[in-house]
Structure 1
Amino acid sequence: MIRRYVAPVALALPLAACGLNSIPTAEETAKARWADVQNEYQRRADLIPNLVSTVKGYAKQESDVLTRVTEARAGATRIQLSGDDLKDPAKVQSFERAQNAVTLSLQRLQEAYPDLKSNQNFLSLQSQLEGTENRITIARRDYNGAVQAYNTRIRTFPDAVGAKIFYGAKPMVPFQATTPGAETAPTVNFGA
């Protein structure tokens, strides 16, 4: 009689150690962190029209920089990644390039309009954008942590067994610096 109850439990124990629940949990966590990244990028994209309007009202004669900011925003919002796309390095890199173009165009905007620093509306929007950039950094870091946990789980024993057999799990792609020279700190020289 006892054998009848012990056998199913003995068979279930190896399966429980194969990541049957932990693999999808880790994958969903990484996808949720990705949604956080997208949310912060969307917040930035939503702030840019207000910034552009403020700059237009302040300096109508300079439209080239504003056009580049608007085009970069449009390009960045066209590229969307689903949770399944996170396993495709080319799609993730395409998304990163588009987002980096927005960051660069915003930097050029700030450089092109130094007089805007005295405009209160611009200062407020700039502060919001800086905060959003910080949130993007944090969201990307959290996403990379979740991807690392997922990728480690699907590659280590015993979860690797369940990951391969039951889910056909593939590693997710973390964010990486794609801006040329991003790995080198800029030189600051106040003497020249």
Structure 2
Amino acid sequence: MKKKYKKEIRIISGLFRGRKLHSVKNFNIRPTGDRVKETLFNWLSPYIKNKRCLDCFSGSGNLSIESISRLAYQVTALEINKKLVNLLKKTINSFLINSISVFHTETTRWLKKKGEPFDIIFLDPPFHDLKLLKKTIKLLKKNNWLHKKSIIYIEQSINFIEKEIYKKWTIIKKKKIGKILCLLFISNTK
């Protein structure tokens, strides 16, 4: 039996603390829960202020908006589902945020071009799709999306983790919360 995830999403800290995102109850997505999000942003607190972030599988935009709430400079959000893109844009407009760029795209297609490195990257793809995670990591490394001190967050099911896909990155934080494994890396690239 599939676990039903809470679909009401709120910002837990910062400028937009307590504000709710538009409902995603009619979508088959798994938003990052409050407990995991609190852990993640406690880890990121020394790094996030005035940084450029990339949210590779943005879904509801939960991590993107939380980042801006915590004083990130700019966020690029990538999402394949057009209805979620429209919902995220609606939420961003209602919050009067102008520092999140939302792209309706498939993440690996977008990452195939050469890019400017990001400071913080969120990788929270569908839990069952390890192949997508591997391909995304490969493109991040290959096409200049990382600099020497890029911070990468990966949220995955404890059942789908393969250590080999993170080689050459240094784990700086790791925590299991229920059946979720949260990993924070520094890229050590270039």
Instruction: Pick the TM interval, shorter chain.
Output: under 0.3
Larger radius of gyration: 1
* Higher relative helix content: 1
TM-score w.r.t. length of structure 1: 0.26
TM-score w.r.t. length of structure 2: 0.26
* Higher relative strand content: 2
